[in-house]
């Protein structure tokens, strides 16, 4: 494990209650993996289900944490990123409170200040969601 808890805020701009990852398990230049246990008090839980905006934010924060970790390990200031576009979003099921999510992000391409990623979210062996994001790095 690379980072968890408050340590994650070294790599992402979000702060509680909007942090949507519990730990960063892997971070390379082209791949990031995070975990999240869905708790009842999560900002995006409604009727005991983790809602769509939370899933999207989970993918984006996985990318941000991985890229932030790589920058910081190279003594480069952590850059701020913004979701520029989301493509081919498929949410197969809304996960329930108590489920653990494992999110994998792969960098597909970098074009100028835009990083294109593919993200997938699993609960156990079940594919919860997937999408492609374009992230503008400031």
Over its length of 138 residues, how does the chain's per-residue pLDDT go in tens digits? 888 887 898 999 899 999 999 999 999 999 999 999 999 999 999 999 999 999 999 999 999 999 999 999 999 999 889 999 999 999 999 999 999 999 999 999 999 999 999 999 999 999 999 999 999 998
Residue 72 CA to residue 29 CA, distance in Å, equals: 12
Taken in order of first residue, the domains within the chain and their CATH numbers are: 3-137 (3.10.129.10)
Q: Count helices and strands (H / E) in the chain.
A: 1, 9
CA angle 36, 41, 44 (to 5 degrees): 70
CA dihedral 60, 105, 100, 89 (to 10 degrees): 60
Q: What is the pTM of this model?
A: 0.96
């Amino acid at each position: 494990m690379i980072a968890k808890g408050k340590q994650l805020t070294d790599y992402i701009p979000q702060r509680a209650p909007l942090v949507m990852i519990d730990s960063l398990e892997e971070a390379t230049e082209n791949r990031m993996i995070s975990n999240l246990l869905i708790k009842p008090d999560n900002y995006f839980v409604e009727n005991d289900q983790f809602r769509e905006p939370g899933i999207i934010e989970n993918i984006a924060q996985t990318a941000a944490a991985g890229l932030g970790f790589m920058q910081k390990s190279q003594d480069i200031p952590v850059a701020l990123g913004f979701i520029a576009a989301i493509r081919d979003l498929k949410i197969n099921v809304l996960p329930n409170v108590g489920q653990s999510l494992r999110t994998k992000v792969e960098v597909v391409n970098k074009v100028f200040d835009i990083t294109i990623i593919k993200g997938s979210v699993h609960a156990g062996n079940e594919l919860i969601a997937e999408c492609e994001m374009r992230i503008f790095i400031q």
